[in-house]
């Protein structure tokens, strides 16, 4: 009987052969070796399969979709293939730092009452390198919901590690989403009563790629507006937060001269019939929502330092 690996890494990919090689190399360079790395190719046409075939490592498992189904379908397929009870994610244009797996295994082995962790990371865009560090904390389900809704904690897909059964409990990733699927997942975990450990240590690198899925499938505002639609109970609790986040995005686009994105995002507010983002609503929501978000930031800072 084959030994079950200590952790499963899920990587969805689409036409990123070169970046994928970097991601795989970062996994093979880990200080912890008892893992399986599941790469799910979402119908690439750039020779990804041939490249993977040249990697001689029994821990690497590869499957390819004949037709494109989306990154979340690829993630869910990978979770279904996973043998380990602990799952983490690595987007194909990101990379792990060498101690990522060792730290994750040690953390979940020590803290058996914790089911989800969100780690800090280093962001690289062009020649700029920025550490994105979250303050160490434990969010119960209520605080996780508040923090995700108000976006007071930096979150990205490659930051998340979770026990497989909690992902299955909320029916995995929503395959209809192209953006913000990590926030949607965390909101559903919070609604199901799960909290999350926020890890201060930087253990992976996020590369901002011009071919990212989020850039290919509509603007940020269109995706953000979709979250309150999917979680109406959250919008009912925080009616001004969504207006604040949308207005802030529009303002940032204008100030930074991103007029194409500004137009796309503005059109998304006009097309919305659920939240009714009129100009007056955005202005009022910006003021009230900023006040509410600052309150949530204070709540996060006031949390006691956890024992990890």
**pLDDT over threshold 90, residue 115:** yes
pLDDT per residue as tens digits for the range 261-303: 888 888 888 877 667 788 888 999 899 999 999 999 999 999 9
Upper half-sphere CA count for residue 169 (Cβ side, 13 Å): 15
Task: Please give the structure tokens belonging to residue 76.
Answer: 């869910």
* 3-state SS, residue 306: coil
Task: Report which of 256, 263, 265, 259 is spatially closest to residue 224, judged by C-alpha positions.
Answer: 265
Spatial contact of 121 and 91, defined as CB atoms under 8 Å apart: no
**pLDDT over threshold 50, residue 217:** no
Domain boundaries, the chain: 7-207, 219-302
**pLDDT over threshold 90, residue 226:** no
C-alpha–C-alpha distance, residues 173 and 169, integer Å: 11
> Would you put residue 91 in left (φ > 0), alpha (ψ -120 to 50) or beta?
beta
**pLDDT over threshold 50, residue 214:** no
pLDDT band at 52 (very low <50, low <70, confident <90, very high): very high
Task: Read off the pLDDT of each residue in 90-118 and give the average, rounded to a whole number.
Answer: 98
C-alpha–C-alpha distance, residues 131 and 191, integer Å: 30
Task: Report which of 221, 203, 232 is spatially closest to residue 277, judged by C-alpha positions.
Answer: 221
**pLDDT over threshold 90, residue 90:** yes
Q: What is the mean pLDDT of the chain?
A: 92
pTM of the predicted structure, to 2 decimals: 0.93
Cβ-based neighbours of 276, under 8 Å, separated by 6 or more = none
Task: Read off the pLDDT of each residue in 143-157 and give the average, rounded to a whole number.
Answer: 95
CA 169, 172, 175, 176 dihedral sign is positive
Task: Report which of 236, 250, 256, 243 is spatially closest to residue 283, judged by C-alpha positions.
Answer: 243
DSSP assignment letter at 256: T
What's the pLDDT at 212? 59
7-207 topology per CATH? Spore Coat Polysaccharide Biosynthesis Protein SpsA; Chain A (3.90.550)
């Amino acid at each position: 009987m084959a030994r079950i690996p200590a952790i499963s890494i899920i990587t969805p990919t689409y036409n990123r052969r070169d970046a994928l090689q970097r991601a795989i190399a970062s996994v093979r360079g880990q200080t912890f070796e008892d893992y399986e790395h599941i790469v799910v190719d979402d119908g690439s046409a750039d020779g990804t399969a041939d490249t993977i075939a040249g990697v001689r490592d029994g821990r690497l498992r590869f499957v390819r979709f004949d037709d494109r189904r989306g990154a979340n379908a690829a993630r869910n397929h990978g979770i279904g293939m996973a043998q380990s009870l602990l799952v983490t994610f690595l987007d194909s244009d990101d990379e792990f730092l060498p101690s990522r797996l060792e730290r994750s295994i040690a953390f979940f082995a020590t803290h058996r009452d914790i089911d989800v962790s969100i780690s800090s990371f280093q962001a690289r865009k062009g020649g700029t390198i920025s550490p994105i560090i979250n303050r160490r904390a434990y969010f119960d389900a209520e605080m996780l919901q508040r923090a995700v809704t108000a976006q007071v904690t930096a979150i990205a897909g490659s930051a998340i590690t979770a026990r497989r059964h909690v992902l299955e409990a909320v029916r995995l990733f929503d395959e209809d989403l192209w953006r913000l699927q990590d926030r949607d997942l965390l909101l559903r975990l919070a609604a199901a009563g799960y909290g999350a450990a926020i890890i201060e240590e930087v253990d992976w690198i996020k590369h901002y790629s011009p071919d990212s899925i989020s850039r290919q499938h509509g603007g940020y505002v269109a995706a953000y507006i979709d979250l309150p639609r999917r979680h109406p109970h959250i919008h009912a609790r925080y009616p001004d937060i969504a207006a604040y986040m949308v207005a802030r995005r529009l303002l940032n686009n204008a100030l930074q001269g991103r007029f194409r994105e500004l137009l796309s995002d503005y059109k998304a507010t006009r097309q919305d019939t659920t939240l009714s983002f009129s100009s007056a609503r955005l202005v009022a929501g910006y003021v009230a929502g900023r006040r509410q978000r600052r309150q949530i930031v204070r709540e996060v800072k006031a949390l006691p330092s956890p024992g990890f």
